[in-house]
Amino acid sequence: MTTLPPRAGREAELAILAHPPRSHIIQSRDIRIDAPPEHGGAETYRLFIARPRLAVPGGYPALYMLDGNAAFDFLTGALLEAHPGLAVVGIGYATGQQFARASRIRDYSPPASLGAALLPDPHHPARLAGGAENFLPRLVGPLRDAAEAGLPVDPARRTLWGHSFGGLFSLFAAATAPQSFARYAMISPSIWWNEAIARDLVDKTGFAASTPIYFAVGDREKRGNDPGPEPTAPPAATLALRDALARRPGVDLRAEIFSGAIHIASLPASLPRTLELAGHG
């Protein structure tokens, strides 16, 4: 059974910043990006960068991790030391929490259709949603430029990882702009947010030839406000999406189910396989 971490939403301890591994230099910096209100407005992002001490001819493979505050909270020195030539970049927000809920829902949730405006989140109307199309150029533009300044990265070996809403965004990026990254990790994607949109991304958009995708989910996952009993299998809709991905031409799918894992536990459970994919894929 997967060891369950502390409940999601807590303060990020980020022990790896204070106690970096011998293999990497760990840095953190904030980047402000200005944008008009219709594109979500200004946002300050926090970059977490694990730079290898080992020189790699031709540039480093690079793993980009959404929800960077949480990702680097669960990332361990032992995991990094197992991949001394892999650069890891967390794209987070200027917060002390693991998750910046309003910002991530705005940035990671797909629009109803390409070009559609931001709308109130149907599940939390006080928040905006549908900004994935606006966030993607931020990610592959100024945020990536800032992360890779002085960091020699092999552009053919970039991987994007996302968990929960981040997993939904990884699906969006792979389906609508597959050239943005060489491979993708989609961990417990929040397809419950809008199953129709998620399924359309798989059925009605294109994937690059031989796109490697790592898709994983826990078998005890349910929404936090669901009063029902503990599940004994992964969500049926998530498995259906996984199977639809497997049928798509051009998708090289690697799928995994984490035994005993609730939603938040799938995040740390996915890290060993993700770093292996990013470093050696």
**What residue ranges in the chain does DSSP mark as E strands?**
24-33, 43-52, 60-66, 87-93, 119-120, 128-129, 153-163, 183-187, 211-218, 251-258
Domains belonging to the chain, first-starting first, are 15-280 (3.40.50.1820)
Q: Is 115 exposed, middle or buried (0-12, 13-18, 19+ CB in 10 A)?
A: exposed
Q: Which residues contact 145 (CB under 8 A, 6 or more apart)?
A: none
Annotation marks residue 221 as catalytic: yes
DSSP-derived letter for residue 154 is E
Q: At what angle do helices 165-176 and 101-108 cross, to 10 degrees?
A: 20
pLDDT at residue 281, rounded to an integer: 60
pLDDT at residue 222, rounded to an integer: 82
Q: Do residues 1 and 61 touch, judged by C-beta distance below 8 A?
A: no
Catalytic-role residue among 103, 164, 188, 266 = 164
Annotation marks residue 263 as catalytic: yes
Catalytic-role residue among 39, 83, 163, 263 = 263
Catalytic-role residue among 103, 221, 266, 270 = 221
pLDDT in tens, the chain (281 residues): 334 454 455 889 999 999 999 999 999 999 999 988 888 889 999 999 999 999 999 999 999 999 999 999 999 999 999 999 999 999 999 999 999 999 999 999 999 999 999 999 999 999 999 999 999 999 999 999 999 999 999 999 999 999 999 999 999 999 999 999 999 999 999 999 999 999 999 998 888 878 899 999 999 998 766 667 778 899 999 999 999 999 998 899 999 999 999 999 999 999 999 999 999 86
